[in-house]
Each structure stands twice: as structure tokens, then as C-alpha cells.
Chain A
Amino acid sequence: MGKSTGFLEVKRQEPQMRAPQERVKDFKEHYLPFGDFAGDQASRCMDCGVPFCNSGCPLGNRIPEFNDAVYRGNFREAFEVLRTTNNFPEFTGRICPAPCESSCVLGINDSPVTIEFIEKEISERAWNEGWIVPKLPVIRTGKSVAIIGSGPAGMAAADQLNQFGHRVKVFERDSRVGGLLTFGIPDYKLEKHVVSRRAAIMEEEGVVFQCNTEIGTDITLDELRESFDAVLISIGSKEPRDVGVKGRQSKGVHFAMDFLHNNNQIIAGENHGNEEFSTKGKKVLVLGGGDTGSDCIGTSIRNGAKEVIQVTIEEQPPEERTDQNPWPEWPKILKTSSSHEEGCTRIWGLNATAFNSNEGGELVSVSFDEVRGEEFNGRWQYVPTGKKQTISCDMAILAIGFKHPEYNGLIADSGLKTDIRGNVAATDFQTNFEGVFTAGDARRGQSLVVWAIAEGRQAAEKINKSLSS
């Protein structure tokens, strides 16, 4: 399989990105297509005896096989391989942090294979060539499933269950399908037509999406259980983590998801947005160093922010893996996202202690303690060094993670049990109610899209099994 000496001959090359000064002018996708390089890049795959990528990928994507097919120029075959494990390669090909690549064996001594870009190239070819067409289930079982939440977990479960022959209806609180894919992730990473074209195919295949309907409010869980043979709760983990410090109520302090949601609504043409989220001419402080933080940076810049500063509680990570963080673990190294390239200052080791406002209650600055990470009784914690800092700003966005699913409505009123971390409690994806299942962030807590798809697929297997027995 593949080309045995490819990795010795070809270096890693990623597809080109539009230049930062260009791309910040709009919300269009920042990567250019891979083009003809895909085959060359795929030839770097070593067809490992133990492909760690295959275990690194939560979906178990058959990476060496699609690499081989791409190397041979057979994208059709590559796509058939890819679709067996991944319902939505067009999503993961764009926004997955690619744990496969961090476990790629070539990464031990070289740069890993560009697995994610190859994946995207395969899926885009599949869409462009018309290989993705509605595929009606062969049989209909007569069973029905309700899915609450149309994020990646819900969509993956819906796709699977529909193909098993069950009738599937997906309930979405928002106006559009996709969950965080649609209203969380900025368009420059994932343009929304990518989500909608997939939803359209699924609809043609028989999946029904019902938007603007909130379960727990519009319809109760009990009602759903009566009308459907099974219910899947895939509502994500949207309850944001907060900072409980002085001045939190100041005007101009926002949760990241509210900020991003507002912006995505504007891009989608849903409305003109809420003026208080506008970053035009403002100095924006983003608290939190993860992907959501980056999304806030890129969005702020595109919306005309004067200056963007990102503050992270952790110390600056090393440039390369340390001995304590060996391959094939997830590399805890300094990552520079596309947003960072677009103009942003990064400050490490600061913990917010107060949001300072003017008389009008408007945020003017944030005070910080300088901190240092330490292990204490086996737990990691941040200890003040004694130094302090205050950074002036017009807006602060909190992107420091999510606690658990939102409780009000569905969970609070139905008697669904939660686990110790606050997620919906489940054994083998089944909640404390028979026939009610849960998957995705709602079950496992805040995580990656690829995990959500994997969860959706696994839950679908379980639901199918319970419906067949």
C-alpha cells in the first residue's frame, strides 16, 4: 500500500491560507483548496504496521487506507473508505484539532502526514463530483427516534439511525440546524453552507429537522417519550464557566458563546446583531487560551477591533514536546492559530481578579494576579506570585470553557439524573429513563466535534440495538 519511500522524498506541506491582511476583510474560509498536492502529501503515509492515527482518531478513521487511495489518485475509493467511519468529513476536515496527526508515527521524527487536509480534500471532491447524493435506507423498521439538539452528535446519530431504517426527527432550539457548528464556530473556519448542504441531504434521506423548538419548554420530555420509541439527548455542554470576581457585571463583559452566536447570526443574515457585541474600534481582551478564545480573536479583528489581547492563566507552553509529554500523547506545545497570525497580543500566567468599570458601569480595565501553576496533592492549581497587572480594555470576552449542559427546562424539570461532573448521567449511553439516551458533550462534557460525531454514532448503535431487541 502507498509508496514505501514517500516520506523520505516529500516534506509536509499544508494548503495555502489567504494572507492575514486579506482574510480579515471578510468571513470567508481562510484555507485555499489543497489542489494537486494531496496525492503527494498522501504518499508520505508510511502504512504503519500499527497505525497510531487509527487509534488517535476518536472515529477510528481508516487513515492509511484513504491515504493510499488518494496517493493512487482514486478519490472515489478514498471517500468510500472515509464515509464508513465518518458521517461528516467536511466538518472534521475543517475544524478538527486532528489528534490523528499528533499520533502519526511520522511525527516521531518528522512532521506528521497532513491527514486533516487530505480528509477535507476528499470530502470536497466528493461534494463537487456529486458522489454525495441522498441514500435512502433500504428498509424502514417502523420505529421512531427523537433527537434533541442538532449539533454534530445529534446529526451523526440522526444519520446513522435513519440509515438503520428508523424514522428520525431532530428538534433544534435555534433557527438553524447545526448547533455550535452553525452558531459557535466562525465562518472563516466553517462556512455555514457546508452544514446546510449536509442537512439538506439528510432531509432528502428522510430525517426531519424541526427548528425553533425547545424540548422542556415547547414540548416536554414525557411527551416526546410517548410519541417516539426512543429519545436521544444531544444538547451539548453550553453552560459557560464564569469568573466570580468583582465587577463581573460591568457592561462589556461577555461570554464567548454569546459573542460568537451573535456574530454568526449576523453573517447568516438572521439579523443585524446586538450592538453591545460590536468590537469596532474597541480594545478587546479575550480571557482563555483555547480554540473558543481564538475564535473570539478572529471575529473581533474581522469586526474592526482596535486591538486584541489574549490572556491565559497557564504559563506559556514549550515550542516542542517535553519528555513528560511524549509521542503519541496530545502535544502540549505552543499553538499559533490563524487568529493569532491576524494580529493579537498573547499574555500568559495571569488570573483575573477584578473587572474595573467607569461610573457608567462600562468596563475600562481588568486587574490580574500573576500566577504560577503548581501541583498540589495531585491537583494542578495556580498560585499568585504576588505581582499584579492591570490591562485597560473596552470589552472582555470570557472563553474559559463550559461547565455542563444547560439545566433549565429539559434537565431541571424532567428528573434526568446528572453525573458528578454535571453532565447527563448514562450507562452505555442510556440515561436513567428507559429509552432515553444521551450523547456528545451533554454526556461527556465539553469536547471536540470529532468526539461528538463518534458519540452520536456509538449512541445510535445502542439505540438501534435496543430497538431491534
Chain B
Amino acid sequence: MSNHFSDLSKKNKEYSGLYHPSFEHDSCGIGFVANLNGKQERKIVEGAITMLENMEHRGGQGAEPNSGDGAGILVQIPHSFLSKSLQRSGLVLPLEGSYGVGNTFFPKEKSLQRKCITELEKYITNFKLRLIGYRNIPVNNSSLGKSAKDTEPDHIQFFVSPLDDLDQNTLERKLVVLRKYANRTIHQLFPDTYDSFYISSLSSKTLIYKGQLTTAQLKTYFLDLQEKEFKSALALVHSRFSTNTTPKWKLAQPFRYIAHNGEINTIAGNVNGMSSKTALFKDSLFTEQELELVHPICDVRRSDSSNLDNVVEILTASGRSLPHAMMMLVPEAYENDTNMSAEKKSFYKYHAHLMEAWDGPASLSFTDGEIVGAILDRNGLRPSRYTLTKDGMVIMSSEAGSLPVEPLNVLRKGRLEPGKMFVADLKQGRIITDEEIKDQICKARPYEKWLLEGEVDINTLPAVSEKAHGKSTYEERLRFHGYTKEEIERVLLPMFVEGKEAMGSMGADNPIAALSEQPQHLSHYFRQRFAQVSNPPIDSIRERSVMSLTTLLGRTRNVLDATSLHCQKIRLEQPVLSNADIQKLRNISIEGFSVHQIETLFYADNPQSGLENAIKSICKEADFAVKSGNNLLILSDRNADKNRVAIPALLAVGAIHHYLIKQGVRSNVSLIVESGDTRTTHHFATLFGYGANAVNPYMVYDILRHSVKNNRLEKDSDKDYLSSYFKYVNNYKEAIGNGLLKIFAKMGISTFESYQGAQIFEPIGISNRVIESCFNGSVSRISGLDFEHIAKEQLDKLTEAISQSQHPLPYGGVYHWRIDGEYHHMNPKTITSLQRACREGSYEHFKTYSNLLDGNGRSLRHLLEFKQRPSIPLDEVEEVKFILKRFATGAMSFGSISHEAHSTLAIAMNRIGAKSNSGEGGEDEIRFGIKKDGDSENSAIKQIASGRFGVTINYLTNAVELQIKMAQGAKPGEGGHLPGHKVDDWIGRVRHSTPGVGLISPPPHHDIYSIEDLAQLIHDLKRANPKARVSVKLVSLAGVGTIAAGVVKAKADTVLISGMDGGTGASPLSSIQHAGVPWELGLAEAHQTLVQSRLRDRVLLQTDGMIRTGRDLAIATLLGAEEWGVATAALIAEGCVMMRKCHLNTCPVGIATQNPELRKLFSGKPEHVINMFTFMAMELREIMAELGFRTIEEMIGQSYILKQNQKAGNWKSGLLDLAPLLLYSNWSKSIKGIPAQPIPNTTLDNRLIEAVHTYKESLIPAEYVFDILNTDRSTGTLASHEVAKWRGSAGLPNKALQFNFRGSAGQSFGAFGSKGLFLNLIGESNDYTGKGLSGAQIVIRKPSNANVMAHENIICGNVALYGATSGELYVNGIAGERFCVRNSGASAVAEGVGDHALEYMTGGEAIILGKVGKNFGAGMSGGIGYVYDYEGTFLSKFNSDSADVEVPSTSDLVHLKSRIQEHVKYTDSELGNQIIRNWETAKTSFVKIFPRDFKRVLEAKESMEAYG
């Protein structure tokens, strides 16, 4: 839940720094308990509260342990309890269900409270309701922390009943209107009540108690909850983990209909979409006047969950069932599903015309008081486990075991699957399955027929000849739109030929658009946002099945209704239009569609106000066109010439989009852009993000035509020019389509319709005036260009076009340096002088280097200068050797760079007491020791990235710091791929994979989908190595400060804010250039936010991203960093010359290559690297002396020393306002101890450690028995650390220590378990079982007294064996989603698995004896899978992109049988037994899953051996 984007233009003024409340995120645990028979019982309420308390670790606490982030409970109205309570005050309640109860926060301040009450009573009367009376909800606030207490409201219940005789649903609608109207009006009348007046619930059915509480406080605070008479047949609970710490009572959940775990990524677009849909509201149930009163349905200032709740409310109040509304808002992935029924597909297709998906990870529980249910979004990235009991209870929660149930009483244990719904109908007294309920809903209306009648497929429209250009030549047009030769050669041609985006490496060292001297494309001021921590990015390639580019053009109709007209839209497979496509649309002559074209041009002769006037006039024209009934608007700049200049397409779209939203008519029309300046994926993404529905990039096709004609591109045959042309057009569209999916996916968004209008960008260098009118809601923190300046950049291009028309296009020089191109910090002069400085040990050369960089005005920090301060002598400043300890080198894996380059950095850093970083590829254990010459190649920082390559218990044990890489500067939100040819024997061994087999790092960590998951990983790592500090690497973007706050609350010791520009790895060019923001912004925001939330003292801040000089260090320190990372400059010191060929393995200086011949050419020495760091520290000391700082400690965060230098930079930099960056918080350093946030051992931990110690002394194998609860997390990890300390990776002899557990194990059971441990769990486990398994054996079996079929019940959570390198796992039941994800060596047996099993697996073995979920084996490159496919359905679940299905060989079957026998031995599996008993028949049902990459390597090896 978050508000990504608030109405910043207004709100910004209230926050002078970089922190903004709209950045807040949260995440949580949810659950419900219900009685299927509908009987109201005390045990339901108590059970729910117990469940909540057992999920304490999923909630968060602020700076004080006793201020929670929020907890709450929703129950049915406890009629008898309330009646009795009211009797005491002489009030009588009418019949159950015929009155409404409002649980309300009132301001504590009495006069304000009275005003609110007076108003409220007025509305009650106006709504023809009778006020029965009030009841003060008794509370005990003694346990509350200060911040919660400071903002605590008064809790008052009011009771109303209708004057007329109304049925309950009509009453509910009336109450909805009253609640919304009262909330809105009172906030308007008394703005101070915005946070303190709030109606939690007002209903005749349900009641909500919630607040700024910890889970444990809920019951002690609300005394009602302790009353025996307080009963309900259902209770829904929620515990919140928020990144922020500003107390907000009303942000607690549940809301009136839903409780939400997750985050709606598309919230900005959804809210904007709703606001224009609201204008079309008409309903048979609500009167028109009532509909007026409920406006606005959505409000950007509320959280995403709260907005979603409001939409659910209006959809259900207007007549749809609650499940129906949920299906509309959170649709399954239907686009590519071949198994889905036609009716269901039609339902989803039809509803896409009404409502875009509210996209993002979502586990939602919902109830209207009569049914209670849950739904998981299409990605299923949240755990939802349920239990049905024999005595009629339904228990559903984020964690299994949070409300323990006697094994005997269990009827069934299941989990919610991606896209699936689960409903308990308390009236009917039964569970309604996903299939049944959806079938009912989908067949209720003739959706398929309506689609046939209404929808138009663009391919069926008649072809029309292409449109000619206006009065300009091709060469002129290229220049008008700012094309460069480089863009054509490096960006467009590869897309034409390859059908995908080109790759690059070594990050971006060119200035951001606002600081560049070259005229910029407007889109370049907009930085792509991406998911980190609070929600996960998606793998748009391997999980393509959930992604969609489907585009619908036309008008949207009243969503409260449903008719065949609602789907009268044009359907496109994707939103990039060919010239033929746009011509078809321009000339459409089908009833119901009407097109108007707007020329998006402005006159060149009025540079001051020409552009702004033109914007105003096209907005009015658009409005008029829509109001006159047009439903397709084409915004075209095709007629641009020397007199009339193109308005940047992004500006035109944004302006019209927002103008139409304000006019309430945006939904009536689709915006189709015909634009000359659109060419890269980023350009498209910005247009779609700010409102375009489809785009035609006509200049790209012009360039393509020229390239084919001039033989720059091959023709299929000399005569047939057109077929080649169309082939390249399709390649281009495919490249852009896939590029867009990647951009959506990095934000965790799956579909185009949801991304459209979602504004997932951070503008840097755009003025608030422009933002307000064209990009309203985006967060622009440092202001910048106004309309006239944007006009100037366009006119500069025009001038260039006129004066240079005789010359070839300028080169550009953005991707590769050119002498006449874009500035790069790393250029021949700086590289040469740095290398000379390092090799010759010459400080003079270093000064040459730093002088070239420091004054150039091309980074934000160059626009800052130091204020005068009394200086001190240099020798009073702390010595270089102390400063050196604060350095780290950047994370570069062995694999991405050569062993020589990697170990040289490590030796250098170890010599000076600084830290080198292993990167994400693991580390060879021979490096952990000290070398003969006294040097050490051990990397102090060991990275834990999404691929988990080589992350073993021994690796973790040998670290000083454990760094969780959430994102990478060069490509935040994206995964990686180390191609097979780079994986030689050595790298394969270190990464625990097969040499020659390609290795994929997934975009998300599959154990971090939200902040509470990160807290769990931090917990795991602190168990795996309690002495190491845990660092979390984030990439700078607006909101990173609140993420950092969340990360600190999750107990990280260090937060690294990485700038956008660093990054040495290979990435798509558009990601290198356009994702993330400079570290200055992120670092300052993180520091400010942490100080403000009183969390700064718990953590060290580190920053990196093109830090190069002493001055850079000084500014980083003053903005809040106590440590600094340097990567690119360190590589240059050891010989890198910025070839940008890392992705090609051809580095000619032996750094980014594994080619043995090239590696020989490496000439770097540790001394070179040490020289550079020494010089940087020397320079920093000089600045410290000048500014009068004796130590770094006293310098950290003292941003008042800095001021903006208005003269630095170019004509644009003066427009920036860096004041928010420099907001000073009075704070000085007081952190004590490393790690700063230790996690104490639990009793269970200590007993396991004791067992290891006992064994160490006796060497006698032993067996122990323990009870276990879901609150026991990372069980066995500390013990494994003890083993690793003693025995390294060798571990103990098999089964040296056997631990038997009974109960429900918490998350990460057996994580990083060392060899020799045998963990035998009788009960069930939660998520991440056996994560990083390092040799241990784990058994999970059902209790012998549980009377259920093991293979039909879930017993093990999601993401088991993630990144395991060795060991065994036996699961006597079904395991959840992503079983064995990225397993590289463990061997597993399970009796059924969820979706995405064996994803990215690179080694090991998985035997599945039952059903599997969708997308089995996606991205699998190694290891073997076997599935017992007795129903013959496996193939429909299998992703065949990287693996094949084979019949197991005879020797395979022998092996399989023995493994299953082993499984039976450990688990007593009935299914396993059956299979073994009927082996001759059963064996024919097994299929073998064999990755192609792996097979190729094995075959090559065999033939090698055959030939000797």
C-alpha cells in the first residue's frame, strides 16, 4: 500500500526537504477466521487476535518499540454485545441489521470535536436517518508509545437507523453516502481534522477497530475486544509494516471491505482513471444526487489500499457482487492462458473495457459481513495459506500455523494460488471454490456475444494508403526531432535487425538532461521508476505469461453498468502503430467511432510564449472535440516545418491528458500520438505513462526506409524492398514491445492497460508550473525548465536543422564518447591523468584529473559550493589511514570481471583496511585465507543478490559485511544473464553451477516481495553470521528515503544509496540512460528521512555512483554518508579504458573478460588502486582542513556548509532549486557498535547451538526433540554458522545431529543449513524452507494423527530451496509456488508443487510426485526434474523455452525409484509407497525435464571423454 504520487504541486510546499509523505509504503500480514455456519462465537474473535499476535514479526515498529505501524480487526456487528452496552446508557437498538454503527475517530480537542459532531448530526438528519446515540469506545492507552499517543484520537461509536422502512442493502448504500459525504465535508470545513476525524466503518453489517498499534496492543487497547460477549462469525485482521514512522491512525487496516497485503504499483493511473470514470457514473440503485455526494471516489492523498477499498465499495454498492468486483479489479492472467474457458476469458476481456487492472502484488482479504474471501493477484507474490477444520472453521492467513489447529481437526490445508479466489459463504454455510464462483459470474451475462458485437480488431479494418509528410525534407525532419547518427546506428538499427534492444555496459557517465549542453529530448528529463523492497519487479521474459500489451481504443462507458456498448472499442495487440495502422484509424468509418486530428505544433517566431499558447489551444481543441462526440484523438506533428515547430510529443500528450481529466472527459476518448520524436523504448514509455493510448513513430519508419534503400540494412532480394521493410518494422515493434514489458516489469506492473497513465517516472529539471499542467502528480523535487525553456530546446534543434543541413547528422556521443559529442566524465583526458597518477604514484597527475572533473558543472554536486568557514591546519585533520577504512569498492562479480581484476581490488582494499565486494557470483573458498605473502584476497563484503550464486553458509560466515543487492545502478529493477560462454570451469565451480551453462539472475529476490520479507532475509543473514553487519543496497530515486527507513526498521546496519550513473554490468541501453536518479538526491533524502523518523542513529549510510574525487567525498559526507563506494574509478586505476565491451567478453585490457589470452594482458597492481584511494583521501583531508573539520564523524550530515552555486553549470542549471537537497536537520553522529542492530538469539537457537558445541566436544551423533511455532524463524541457521566456523564448507558427517521438531515452523526453516544437520519437521513449514541449503537434510511430514491425504494438502510454503547449493529436502505434501527456484545443487522430493516450480534452476534435482502449477521450468538451465504425470496434464503447465521433456531412461528410473524409496523411508509417504508398490505401471507416468543448455554441455563432455 502506498501513495506513490500525491498532489505534489500543492503538497510540495509543505515539505521543504526531499522527504515526501507520498513516498510511503507498507506491507503486512493479513488473515481471517470465520465460522462457516455463520454462528457468532467468541473463539472467532479470539482466534483472529491470536493469529494477529503471531504475525507480530510481519508488522513494523518505529523509532520506539511500543509504537506500531498499525493493526486492526473487522468483525460482524456484535449485536447483543452492543445492545447490552447501550442499555446501560438507556439507549435501545432496533432489530439486528436494521441500524448502522459508525466507529469513528474524533479529534481529541473538544471544541473541534463538538464542531464535527454538530456537522455529522446535521448530515444524519439530511439523509433521513435517525441518530440513536453515541457510545465512547473504551480504550486503555497505557501501553502506547509516545508517537502513537501524541496523535491518538477519541474513539466514538454512533448509531443510526432509517426513518423509512429500508431493506438492508439500501440502508448500506445510504450509509456509504453518509460516510463519504461526512468525511469529505468535515475535512473541507475543518482542514485540521484531516487525520483526526475519520469514520473507520459505518455499516449495518460490519465494524472495524484499528489504530496506530502493534499487533499485541490491539486487544489491550480496545477493551471491547476483551469482552466475552463480543462475538462474531468472522474476523478479519491486518498488521502493518510501514516504511514511514509518522503516526497515522487512519492508515491502519482493515478497510471497510478489504485488507490488503502488497502494493498497487499503478495507483496513479488507477486514481486518475477513476476520477474520469466517476464523471460518467449513472446507476439505477443510487440516485443522481447520491452519486454527486459520494465524489470523489478516489483521492490521491489516500493510500492505494484505501483507494482500492473505495472502488470495491462503489462497485458492490451499485449492484455487483463482491467477488465480481474483485475479479474486475484484480483479473487473472488471461491473455496468454490457453487452458482458460471461453466464458471466463470473455469476462476478463469484456471488463478490461471498463476498468484497467489495479496491478501489483496483492493478497486481498475481503468481506461484506456475509461472505468472506481472499484473492491473490496474477503474480501470486504474497503467501496465503488456509486451513479448513472439521468443526467448520475457515482460517486464512499470510503464514501457516499462526493460529494453530489440532492435527486431528484438520479437514484440508491449502494455499491461494496466483489469480485465484477463495470464498466462504456464511449464509450458505459452505466454501465456494474459485471455479464455481467464477463460472457463475462469467455466465451471468453474455460477455462473449457482447464482445463479438462491440469489439473491433484493427487487423480487420480496410487498408488505406500512407500519408505524405508536410513541407520538409528527410534530413530536416531528422534534425527537427533531434536525431543523431549514434541513435540510428546504436539504438535503431539493432532493433530493426535483432528485434530487441541493444546492450551496453559501464553505466552512464554523461550528465543528466538538465545538466547537458546538448538540446535534449523532453523524455530524457524523466527518470524511470522501479520497484525495490516494497514490491518486486517481474521477469518479463521468463514470466511472459502474466504480461500483456493489449491496447483498447475508444470511449469508456459508465462502469456501474454493463452493456454490449461498453466494449465498443478497437483492440490492438500492442500500442506501437505502424504507418498503415494509424492510417486505418484516421480513416475509420465504423459507427460508434469518430476521429479528430490535432496538430501539435507551435510557431517558431514566438519563443517566449508560443509554446505555452499552443499548449493551451490544443487542450481547448481537444476538450471541444471530445465534447462534440469524438472518441479518438490523433495528436500529430507530421506537418512540422521551419515555421511551425513540433511540440514535444510528451508535453502535448501530458497536457491534453491532464486537461481532459480535469474536464472529466478523459474516459470518453483515446489519445493516439503521431510523433516524429519518438524512437526509443524510453520515449514510448513516457508517452504511455503520461496518457497516450497508442503511438505511431513515423520518423523511425522513415529512417528504416532510408536504411533499406541505401543498403545499410540487408534486403531479402534486390527487387523486393517492401518485404524486407515490413520484416524490419515488425522487428522494431517487437523490440519496443519487449522493451516496454521490461519497463513495466521493473515496476512490478504486468499489463499495458494498467501502465498507461500510471506516471511511473521522476522528472528532474522540470518546473512545477509545467508539472502542474502537463504531468500533474509527478514528484519533481528540484524544479527546472518552464515552457519557454522547453521551447528553446526545440528551437535550438530547428536552428541547427537550418544551419547544418548540408552536413551529416551530428554523432551524439551519448553512448560512446566523441570529441564533438556529449560530455562524459570519463574521457581521454580524465582516464589518462588518473591512470598516470595511479601508476606513477603522482598526486600531481591526480590533481589534473580531479580539476578536470570538479569544476565541470555536469553533476548536481558541481552546482554546490562550500561556505566559508574558519580553516584549521592540515595536520589537525584525521590521518589518511583512518579515512581509507571508509572506502568500499563496488560490487562486481568474479565472472563479470576476471580473477586478476577482481583479486587485485580485494588485495588493495584489504591492505588499506577498506572493503572490497565479492559481487553476486560467490567467491572461491581458497580466497578466504591469508596468502603466503601476507595478502588476503577475501572480499570483506559478500553480496547476496537475486541469483544467490555461491551463497553458502561458508560464504556468509566468511564475511565482514553481508550486502543484499536490491537493485543495481545501471539497471535497477532488472535481472541479469551471464551467458554460458563466460561460465568457464572456475566460475562454474564458484557459482555452484555447470560450466558452459548460462546463469540467470531473476529481477526480484524471490524471498523479498515486500518490506517484511526483507526483514526476514536480514533476520536469516544475521542468523547465518551474527558478527557481520548487514547492508542493503538501494538505488537512488524519489522515495528511497522512506524505503531506507523501512530497511532500517527491518534491522539493516548499513544502507547503501547507489546513484543511477554507476554500474559496470551489461544492461539495455535505455536502462543505463534513463533509470534511477543521482546519488546526491537519494542520499540527502535518505539522511533527512532517517533523521526525521529518529532512525538515523541505528544505521550507517554509504553512497556510490561515480564518486571520483576528494570533493565528491566531501559533498557525500556533508549530505549524510559515512562511507563511500567506488567502482568505475577503481577499475580505471587498474587499467580499464571504458571500452564498454564488458558484455562482449572482449575487454582488451583483461578486466571484463574471461578469455585467457585477454586476461594475460591485465596489468593492474594493488598499488595502483591504493594510490587512487590515498589520493582521494588526501584531497578530502585538504577540504576538511579548509572547512575546519577534524574528523569525518563531525562532518557527516552537516549540509548547512553547502550552498547552491548559481553560476555553475549551463543555462539550464540556474533553473534548478537545490534547496530541498540541503535541508539541514540538526543531528550529529552517535551510532555505537557494529552491527548496529543485533538480533538476540531465541531459546531454540541457543539449544541448537549447544547441540553443535556438545557434538564438537564429544563427536558423538545425537538426536533432539523440540516444539516449534511459526514465530520460530530461520531455525537451524545459527547452528549451521557454528558448524561453518568450525568445519568450513565440509560440514559434519551425515546426520551427525538430528533435530526433530513438532508444530508449524516459521519462515526460512533450515535456511543455509550445514551438512550434517538432519532437520525432521513433523507438522508444516512456511515460506523459504531450505533457502540457501548448504548440505543439510530436511524432512517435512504430516503428523501421524492428521487424517488427511498428504499429497492433497499443502505442507510447505513458497520459494523452498531458493538458491540451495547442496543437501536434501523431502516434502510429504504439496509445496507452494516457486519450488526449487534457482536451486543449484540440492535434491528434493515433493508430492505436488505450485506455479513457477524449478524456475531458473541451474543444478540439483527435483522429483515431483503430484500436480504441478503453471510455468514449470521457466528459465531452467541446469539440473534435472522428474514429474509423476499420472493425469497426463504436465505439458500444459510446462514452459518449454529452455528445457525439453523426455522419457526417463532405464538408469534414470533406477535412480528415481531409489530416491522415492528414500522419501518413503523419511516421510512414510502414502503416495510414495503406492508408487513403489505399483512401480511397473507407475514408472511409465514419469517425465524427465532436461534443460537444453545442460544437455548440450553434458553431451559435449561425453563426446570429449569418448575421444579421450
A binding-site residues for B, Cβ under 8 Å:
1, 4-5, 7-8, 46-52, 54-56, 60, 62, 64-65, 74, 77, 80-81, 84, 103, 105-106, 108-110, 138, 163, 323, 326, 328
Contacts and interface: CB of A to CB of B under 8 A. Distances in A.
Contacts of B829: 55
A328 B1138 CA distance: 14
B808 A51 contact: no
A61 to B, nearest CB: 9
A56 B818 CA distance: 11
Given A74-B711, A109-B1148, A326 B1137 contact: no
Contact of B1146 (A8, A64, A108, A328): A8
A65 B807 CA distance: 16
Given A84-B807, A103-B828, A105-B1148, A50 B1141 contact: no
B813 to A, nearest CB: 9
Given A50-B827, A108-B1148, A326 B836 contact: yes
Nearest to A138: B806
A49 B1141 contact: yes
B808 A50 contact: no
Given A1-B490, A46-B1146, A50-B828, A81 B808 contact: yes
A54 B819 contact: yes
Contact of B1139 (A46, A65, A74, A138): A46
Nearest to B1135: A108
Interface string B1132-1163: 00000111110010101100000101100100
Nearest to B809: A84
A84 B1144 CA distance: 30
Nearest to B805: A138
7 contacts: A4-B1141, A7-B1148, A47-B816, A49-B1137, A49-B1138, A50-B1138, A105-B1139
A54 B817 CA distance: 9
A328 B1141 contact: no
B1149 A50 contact: no
A323 B807 contact: no
A46 B1148 contact: yes
A138 B806 CA distance: 9
Given A1-B489, A52-B828, A74-B711, A60 B820 contact: yes
B322 to A, nearest CB: 57
Contacts of B1139: 46, 48-50, 105
A199 to B, nearest CB: 22
B862 interface: no
Contacts of A5: 1146
Contacts of B1140: 48-49
Contact of B840 (A54, A55, A77, A323): A323
Nearest to A109: B1161
B12 interface: no
B1066 to A, nearest CB: 13
Contact of B824 (A50, A81, A105, A108): A50
A62 B818 contact: yes
Interface residues of B, number: 39
Contacts of A62: 811, 818
A55 B808 contact: no
A55 B820 contact: no
Q: Which of A49, A52, A62 has the most CB of B within 10 A?
A: A49
Contact of A48 (B489, B816, B1144, B1155): B816
B552 to A, nearest CB: 40
Contacts of B1442: none
A326 to B, nearest CB: 6
A62 B807 CA distance: 14
A43 B1208 CA distance: 43
A62 B806 CA distance: 18
A110 B831 CA distance: 19
Task: Give the 4 A-B residue pairs with the shortest CB-CB distance, closest first.
Answer: A49-B1140, A55-B828, A60-B819, A50-B1138
A326 B1135 CA distance: 12
Contacts of A7: 1146, 1148
B1148 A50 contact: no
Interface of B: 485, 489-490, 506, 711-712, 806-808, 811, 816-820, 824, 826-829, 831-832, 835-836, 839-840, 1137-1141, 1144, 1146, 1148-1149, 1155, 1157-1158, 1161
Given A1-B489, A105-B1137, 8 more contacts: A5-B1146, A47-B816, A48-B1139, A49-B816, A65-B811, A108-B1137, A109-B1149, A138-B806
Nearest to A164: B806
Nearest to A56: B828
B818 A326 contact: no
Nearest to B1142: A49
Nearest to A77: B712
B811 A323 contact: no
B505 to A, nearest CB: 8
Contacts of A60: 818-820
Contacts of B1161: 108-109
A14 B828 CA distance: 26
A125 to B, nearest CB: 16
B832 A54 contact: no
A171 to B, nearest CB: 27
B817 A46 contact: no
Contact of A326 (B839, B1144, B1157): B839
Contacts of A106: 1148
Contacts of B1155: 8
Contacts of B826: 50
B294 to A, nearest CB: 58
Contacts of B712: 74, 77
Contact of B819 (A1, A55, A138, A163): A55
B832 A328 contact: yes
Contacts of B819: 54-55, 60
A55 B712 CA distance: 27
Contacts of A108: 1137, 1148-1149, 1161
A326 B831 CA distance: 12
A347 to B, nearest CB: 33
B1149 A323 contact: no
Contacts of A109: 1148-1149, 1161
Contacts of A138: 806
B711 A50 contact: no
B1149 A163 contact: no
Contacts of A84: 807-808
Nearest to B830: A50
A55 B1137 contact: no
Nearest to B806: A138
B1366 to A, nearest CB: 37
A233 to B, nearest CB: 26
Nearest to A64: B816
A103 B832 CA distance: 11
Nearest to B815: A49
Q: Which of B808, B819, B827, B1141 has the most CB of A within 10 A?
A: B819
Nearest to B826: A50
Contacts of B1157: 8
A51 B817 contact: yes
Nearest to B807: A84
A83 to B, nearest CB: 9
Nearest to B827: A50
Contacts of A8: 1146, 1155, 1157-1158
Contacts of A74: 711-712
A109 B1164 CA distance: 13
Contacts of B711: 74
Given A1-B490, A84-B807, A328-B828, A50 B817 contact: yes
B1144 A4 contact: yes
A1 B1140 CA distance: 12
B818 A54 contact: yes
A55 B1146 contact: no
A4 B1146 contact: yes
Given A1-B489, A81-B808, A49 B828 contact: no
Contacts of A81: 808
Nearest to B803: A468
